[in-house]
Structure 1
Amino acid sequence: MTQKFDTALSLALEAHSGQIRKGTENALGLPLPYITHPVAVATLAQRYGGNEDQVIAALLHDVLEDGGPQWADPIRDAFGGQVLDLVRFCTDGLPDAQGQKSPWRERKELYLAHLRAAEGEGVLVSACDKLANLQAILLDLTEIGESVWTRFTGGKDGSLWYYVELVEAFGGRVPAALEVALRRDLAAVLELASARMDEVSKPSAE
């Protein structure tokens, strides 16, 4: 890695300043800073064969989504258009001027359609993001059980539906070891959630 990695980490720290990972408070009430998630995603991107642009994009993958579109120019200026394109690839909705996003279901449907039609380096970065999330869900299910689903806008049914669809969309399009990890951790989450994959159906629009 070049100095660009350190620069990307600093930018991500600034963009996510004050943000925390929901539901991560320990026994002392201390939550994890949000930056721990993009660092985990960057670690997975490197592990599964990502190049420097992909690893940097992994560090920055939530900056536009959580920080706002004003971060696009700083990303482009520091790392170039390719990294910005990779970050945009991973973004499933930008906040408006009031900080609001479109409805959860609508955003997830659009992102799945985008992902199924997509090619190129962004697929690996997105897959590493979703693997990091699955790993966190699996750990939380093991430790605190079903109450974990209250943290998610889509609830249990919506979240399980989304991750089943995501893992299928990544099938055959990421390194074999990464696909194995995605399928393994999804299966473990479904087992703990007492739901077979073929029982997970699309949530109603109501």
Structure 2
Amino acid sequence: MPDAGPDAPLLTDRFADAVAYAERHHRRQLRKGTRVPYVAHLLAVAAIVLEMETTEDEAIGALLHDVVEDGGGMAAHAEITARFGDDVARIVLANSDSTTVEGPKAPWHERKQAYLDAMAHKAPDELRVSLADKLHNARTIAADHRRLGEDLWPRFTTGRGEDVRWYYGALLAAFEARRDDLGDGGRRTLDELARVIAELGA
């Protein structure tokens, strides 16, 4: 049985609205190489953010972190600003691939390097959403690798395990450089990411 919570709810109707918004935007999308609805990833990322004992804005940013990048563009960013506020919109934009928001998608290595380079400039709330996103992705990759072995890698853009391992190793280093900015919950989550990435051999 859960503990009694505070008098005021930690999550309001804004969070429920964000769940519905994310589901509508992503309802035709699946996780790469699976029949898993993409919204499962968004709910998992939001759960990781909430388990860091953060804010409703960060949890909403987690739910919506792929809306701008995955087809919504800056029109969706403006709508998110109007519906959920400036801080949520900032978190979402900071966690969007800047090379795909406006214009054609750049090559894989260029996109990943741009994301890594931006890590040094993210605000703490933006970092925590990024960390939750990468932890859930890494957990999924590790679980699929246990099941499929090296047959897993063709589902990724480059088709090469060494590329994925390089990226997650570089992500871990970038998060470690910002460890002091993550807060207690973020640091615990970062330690978990390190354990999962070690399993991948990165």
TM-score normalised by L of structure 1: 0.84
Q: Root-mean-square deviation (CA), in Å?
A: 1.4
**Distance of 2:145 and 2:113 partners within structure 1:** 25
Which residue, 153, 164, 170 being the options, matches 2:169?
Answer: 164
Deviations 1:88-147 (A, max 9, x none): 1111133556xx411111111111010023333100000000000000001000111111
Which residue, 14, 17, 27 being the options, matches 1:17?
Answer: 27
Matched, 1:178 2:189: yes
TM-score normalised by L of structure 2: 0.86
Q: Moved runs in structure 1, 4+ residues, more than 3 A?
A: none
Amino acid at match of 2:145: L
Q: Tell me the secondary structure at the aligned position of residue 68 of structure 1.
A: helix
Matches within 5 A, 1:41-120: 41-69=45-73, 70-93=75-98, 94-96=100-102, 100-120=104-124
Deviations 1:152-190 (A, max 9, x none): 113212111110010111112432211110100000111
Q: Structure 1 unaligned segments of length 5 or more: list them.
A: 25-30, 191-196, 198-206
Partner of 2:5: none
Amino acid at match of 1:148: L
Q: CA deviation at 1:16?
A: 0.8
8 Å CA contact 1:16–1:67 kept in 2: the answer is no
- Greater fraction of residues in helix: 2
Q: CA deviation at 1:21?
A: 0.8
Q: Tell me the secondary structure at the aligned position of residue 124 of structure 2.
A: coil
**Distance of 2:191 and 2:21 partners within structure 1:** 32
Which 10-residue stretch deviates more, 65-74 or 80-89?
Answer: 65-74
**Distance of 1:13 and 1:179 partners within structure 2:** 27
8 Å CA contact 1:45–1:128 kept in 2: the answer is yes
**Distance of 2:101 and 2:127 partners within structure 1:** 23
Amino acid at match of 2:168: Y
**Distance of 1:82 and 1:107 partners within structure 2:** 24
Partner of 1:201: none
Q: Tell me the secondary structure at the aligned position of residue 149 of structure 2.
A: helix
8 Å CA contact 1:9–1:59 kept in 2: the answer is yes
**Distance of 2:12 and 2:121 partners within structure 1:** 32
Percent identity of paired positions between Structure 1 and Structure 2: 36
Matched, 1:133 2:137: yes
Q: Tell me the secondary structure at the aligned position of residue 28 of structure 2.
A: coil
